[in-house]
Amino acid sequence: MLVWVVLAPHCAWAQMQPHRAEYALRLGAATNASRIGTAMQDITLDCTGWRIKRDVASEVALTASWKVSFSSRLEGEEQRSGNGFQYRIVQTENGTRRESQGRVARTDGGTRAEIVSAGGPAQRTLPLATLMPVAAMSHLVERLRTKPAAFPTFIYAAEAMGDAFRVDVKSLDPAALRPAPRTAKLVAVPAAQFWPVLLTFRRDGQADQKPLFSMSAKIFESGVLDRVTVDAGIVTLAADLQALEMHKEPACPVSKHPVGD
C-alpha cells in the first residue's frame, strides 16, 4: 500500500528520484499509537531501468496469547518507459509462506498481467491506462504540479492481489494530515515542494461502489512519501518516515530512439 502509486512516457523533470526510505508502522492514527513494525522501499535506477525492493514486517498482539505476524518482500524491475514490470513476492503470515511471480506489459493491444503462484498460472487483462509503480508516482507528481483539485488514475498493485485499482486523487489542506507521532524522528527530505493528498482505492469497474480503502499522505516532488495513513474501515495503519537516503542517477548515453521504444 506504500507505495505506491504512465500512460505516456514521463518527462525528466517529473521523474521520481531514486532513494531508499525506511518507515515505522503503527496501529492507529493517534500520536501515541503502538508501533507494530517497519517498512522499507529502495528504488534505484540504471541505464536499463528501475530496480525496486520493498520489505514490510509487522507483528500485532490481539490478545495476551494471540499474535499475528506478517512479512512481505518484493523485488521488481520496471522499464524506464513505464511499459513493463516484472517482480517476485514472498509473503509470510504466522509462519505460512506464499510466493508469486508476475509480469505486466502494456502494448498497443492492451495491458496484460501474467501471475504464477501456488494456485497455478493466471492471466488478467488490465485497463490500458494502468501505471507501473515508479511511473505511477512520476505521473502523480506531474499532475499535482498542475494543481488540479482531483483526478483519477489506475495503478497496478503487485502485493494487493496483483490487480489494477482505480485511484481517485484529491488534494487536501495540510491541516487535514495526521499529526506526527510523539516519538517520530525529524527526517530532512531534499525536496522543497510537497502536496498533502487523499487517495481512494476501488476495483476497476466499481467506481460507484464503496472504496476498498483510502490513503492520505504527504507526497514530495522527489516521490518520497511521509505521514502515510491507510484507512481500511475496520483498522487504520500509519507509516512515518524514519530514515532517507537519496541515490545518484546514472549518466546514460542519449538514446537514438524515441522514449518508450
Q: How confident is the model at residue 53 (pLDDT cuts 50, 70, 90)?
A: very high
- In terms of Cα–Cα distance, which of 150, 158, 170, 179 is closest to 214? 170
133-161 residue pLDDT tens: 999 999 999 999 888 878 888 999 898 77
Q: Give the model's pLDDT for residue 7.
A: 26
Q: How confident is the model at residue 14 (pLDDT cuts 50, 70, 90)?
A: low
What cell was used for 75?
Answer: 523485488
Burial class (CB in 10 A: 0-12, 13-18, 19+), 246: middle
Longest Cα pair distance anywhere in the chain, in angstroms?
Answer: 63
Q: Give the model's pLDDT for residue 247.
A: 95
165-215 residue pLDDT tens: 999 999 999 999 999 898 888 898 986 789 999 999 998 766 667 888 999
Domain residue limits, the chain: 12-246
Q: Give the model's pLDDT for residue 215.
A: 95
Q: How far apart are CA 19 and CA 13, in angstroms?
A: 16
With 70 as the cut, is the pLDDT of residue 10 above it? no
With 70 as the cut, is the pLDDT of residue 63 above it? yes
76-106 residue pLDDT tens: 999 999 999 999 999 999 999 999 999 999 8
Q: Give the model's pLDDT for residue 107.
A: 86
226-255 residue pLDDT tens: 999 999 888 899 999 999 999 998 888 776
With 50 as the cut, is the pLDDT of residue 259 above it? no
With 50 as the cut, is the pLDDT of residue 221 above it? yes
What does pTM read for this prediction? 0.86
Q: Are strands 130-131 and 150-157 parallel, antiparallel or unpaired?
A: parallel
Which residues, 6+ apart, have CB-to-CB distance to 129 below 8 Å? 7, 111, 153, 154
With 70 as the cut, is the pLDDT of residue 5 above it? no
With 60 as the cut, is the pLDDT of residue 4 above it? no
Neighbour count for residue 11 (Cβ, 10 Å): 11
Q: Give the model's pLDDT for residue 6.
A: 26
Q: Give the model's pLDDT for residue 16.
A: 87
DSSP secondary structure string for all residues of 17-52: PPEEEEEEEEESSSTTPEEEEEEEEEEEEETTEEEE
DSSP secondary structure string for all residues of 188-247: --S-S-EEEEEEEEEETT-TTSPPSEEEEEEEETTS-EEEEEEE-SS-EEEEEEEEEEEP
